Structure 1
Amino acid sequence: MTPFGHKLREIRADRNLTLKEMAKGLGVSSAYLSSVEHGHRGQPSRRFVHRVCQYLNIIWDDAEELEELAIRSDPKVSVNTAGLTPKATYLANCLAEKITDLSDEQIEAMMRIINVDFNNGSDRNKTTE
């Protein structure tokens, strides 16, 4: 499941919407919405995220959070380490190899190291205006 799919499913459940109801409201099939929620589709488009926000009447910070989660929801990530140090390339390859064996606690520890917050869908290094 992708971060966007997880959040979308959470919102749908909180609002007591069935998959079928929400899919109809978004103008997509239930199968498509299910595949988005489960991470079987690629990264959702900005247009789809916008439609979700309109349908669910999500605005401001919550809409920004969904957009950020959509950006971070590509289930087939590739990392270009060209021009980086050999250690960076080695790390990227080790992470790709080992990520399926990491526990949630280990992943959370790594996320703290790189200063990102999954629960807020944000990079803690970003400055707000």
Structure 2
Amino acid sequence: MTPFGRRVRELRQRRGLTLAEMAEGLGVTPAYLSALEHGKRGRPTFTLIQGTIHLLGVIWDEADELVRLADLSHPRVTVDTAGLDAEATLLANRLAREIGELDVDDLRRLAAILDEAIARRDIG
């Protein structure tokens, strides 16, 4: 499941919409919407994101969050380390190999480390 798919599913269910009802409102098939929610489809289009925001009635921060999550929801990621330090290539390959074995707490800790590194970079 992608971050966008998980959030859309939560919002859809909270609003009492079935998968079929939401799919009809977006002009897509229920199979496509299900695949999107479960991360079996790529990043949604801008039009689909905006339709989702409108259909779910989200505004401001929630709408911004959906746009951000959509951008971070490509289920097949390619990491280009050409021209970077060998450590970057090593890390990218290790992560690709091991990510399926990490539990949610490990993933959250790794994301926190990345957030800290970005914050340090943005301050300096």
TM-score of the aligned structures, taking structure 1 as reference length:
0.88
Q: Which residue of 2 aligns with 1:7?
A: 7
Q: Which segments of 5 or more consecutive residues in structure 1 lack a partner in the other structure?
A: 117-122
Q: Which amino acid aligns with 2:10?
A: E
Whose helix proportion is higher, 1 or 2? 2
Instruction: Give the superposition deviation at 1:83.
Output: 1.3
CA–CA separation in structure 1 for the residues paired with 2:23 and 2:82: 41
Q: 1:72-121 CA distances to partner (integer Å, 9 max, x unpaired)?
A: 000000001111100011000000000000011110110110118xxxxx
Q: Which residue of 1 aligns with 2:99?
A: 99
Q: Which residue of 2 aligns with 1:49?
A: 49
Aligned length: 120
CA–CA separation in structure 1 for the residues paired with 2:17 and 2:119: 32
Q: Which residue of 1 aligns with 2:63?
A: 63
Instruction: Give the superposition deviation at 1:38.
Output: 0.6
Q: 1:37-87 CA distances to partner (integer Å, 9 max, x unpaired)?
A: 011101111111001011112121111100000000000000011111000
Instruction: Give the superposition deviation at 1:124.
Output: 6.7
Q: 1:4-62 CA distances to partner (integer Å, 9 max, x unpaired)?
A: 00000000111111111111111111111111101110111111100101111212111
TM-score of the aligned structures, taking structure 2 as reference length:
0.91
**1:114 alignment partner, SS class:** helix
CA–CA separation in structure 1 for the residues paired with 2:51 and 2:63: 11
Alpha carbons of structure 1 residues 50 and 124: separation in structure 2 relative to 1, 3 Å: farther
Which moves more between the two structures, 57-66 or 91-100? 57-66
Q: Which amino acid aligns with 1:82?
A: A
Q: Which segments of 5 or more consecutive residues in structure 2 lack a partner in the other structure?
A: none
Which moves more between the two structures, 54-63 or 104-113? 54-63
**2:5 alignment partner, SS class:** helix
